[in-house]
């Protein structure tokens, strides 16, 4: 029983990061109708910014405040950069293609993968770099509840994910900005006729999604190391989480991400590490065969 609980906690830790990334993918899709295949690369670039600031902060031994708070400063720097990055991508790459076809928009995001990856490699190099965890053992030591080992960093990741998603869901459900997001997601043309600045809503959605990806990237960096390929697996699983939960639901990707994290660990522990990916994805395919719109998705019918 102890090992089972341990696996569940570990699965929720990684699943939380899949959920954050998946929520960003769905947010962009619902508001602007674009499937952002470059979400992982954008998160990777923000993670490199955080790593660079963190490493420079550790070099500032003459400035105790910067040295002691290098990680916090790096985390904030990644979020600030993600805000700017999301705005630039939407304004100069996505908005000019807004009148194009769906396939055209998808090709733009595929092109962004190569651009961002190439620029990241040119600026930061292709080496893999270590980055510390948000909560390290010298800050808070591991402890036990019964026989279950509790890692403070895992609890921190789960809690910060829950807080971010709770705030985001509150904004979407209870604020004028949230109403604008939901109206634009439901019918962009009608929302524009009602006076909603859909272009600004789209820009805000890209900024929020980029920030969510940056947070996921910085938090997962200690497990993957910071490199140009660090988000490949996370990005793939975030897409699967979005499809599993339902692309037309905001809560679906969160549940989908948590499910994938937990199932991945359970299958690896009790069935097979070698076949873990095959079994988990096979199970997800079976779910989608019987519910292709996703667990929380709704079948959209057009009236004529």
Q: What pLDDT, on the 0 to 100 scale, is given for residue 299? A: 61
Q: Print pLDDT tens along the chain (304 aa).
A: 778 888 999 999 999 999 999 999 999 988 888 889 999 999 999 999 999 999 999 988 778 888 889 999 999 999 999 999 999 999 999 988 877 777 888 899 999 999 999 999 999 998 999 999 999 888 888 888 888 888 999 999 999 988 998 998 898 888 888 888 888 877 778 888 888 888 899 899 999 999 999 999 999 999 999 999 999 889 888 988 998 888 888 888 899 999 999 988 888 888 877 777 787 778 778 877 888 888 887 665 544 4
Domains of the chain: 1-290 (1.10.3470)
Q: What is the pTM of this model?
A: 0.92
Q: What pLDDT, on the 0 to 100 scale, is given for residue 227? A: 95
Q: What pLDDT, on the 0 to 100 scale, is given for residue 300? A: 58
Close Cβ partners of 91 (under 8 Å, ≥ 6 residues apart) = 203
Is residue 265 within 8 Å of residue 237, measured between CB atoms? no
Close Cβ partners of 3 (under 8 Å, ≥ 6 residues apart) = 269
């Amino acid at each position: 029983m102890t090992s089972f609980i341990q696996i569940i906690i570990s699965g929720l830790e990684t699943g939380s990061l899949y959920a954050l990334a998946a929520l960003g993918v769905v947010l962009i899709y619902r508001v602007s109708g674009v499937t952002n295949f470059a979400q992982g690369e954008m998160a990777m670039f923000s993670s490199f910014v955080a790593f660079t600031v963190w490493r420079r902060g550790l070099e500032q031994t003459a400035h105790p405040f910067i040295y002691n708070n290098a990680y916090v400063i790096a985390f904030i720097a990644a979020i600030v950069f993600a805000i700017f990055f999301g705005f630039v991508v939407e304004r100069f790459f996505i908005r000019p293609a807004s009148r194009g076809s769906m396939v055209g928009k998808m090709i733009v995001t595929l092109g962004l993968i190569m651009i961002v990856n190439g620029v990241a490699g040119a600026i930061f190099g292709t080496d893999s770099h270590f980055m510390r965890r948000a909560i390290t053992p010298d800050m808070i030591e591991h402890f036990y509840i019964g026989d279950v080992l509790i890692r403070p960093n895992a609890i921190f990741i789960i809690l910060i994910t829950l807080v971010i998603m709770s705030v985001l869901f509150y904004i979407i459900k209870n604020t004028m900005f949230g109403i604008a997001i939901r109206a634009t997601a439901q019918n962009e043309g009608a929302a524009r006729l009602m006076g909603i600045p859909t272009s600004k809503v789209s820009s805000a959605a890209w900024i929020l999604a980029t920030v969510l990806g940056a947070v996921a990237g910085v938090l997962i960096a200690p497990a993957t190391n910071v490199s140009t390929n660090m988000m490949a697996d996370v990005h793939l699983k975030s897409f699967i989480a979005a499809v599993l939960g339902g692309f037309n639901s905001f809560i679906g990707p969160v549940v989908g991400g948590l499910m994938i994290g937990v199932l991945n660990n359970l299958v690896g522990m009790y069935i097979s590490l070698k076949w873990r990916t095959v079994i988990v994805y096979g199970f997800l395919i079976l779910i989608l065969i019987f519910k292709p719109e996703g667990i929380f998705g709704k079948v959209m019918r057009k009236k004529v």
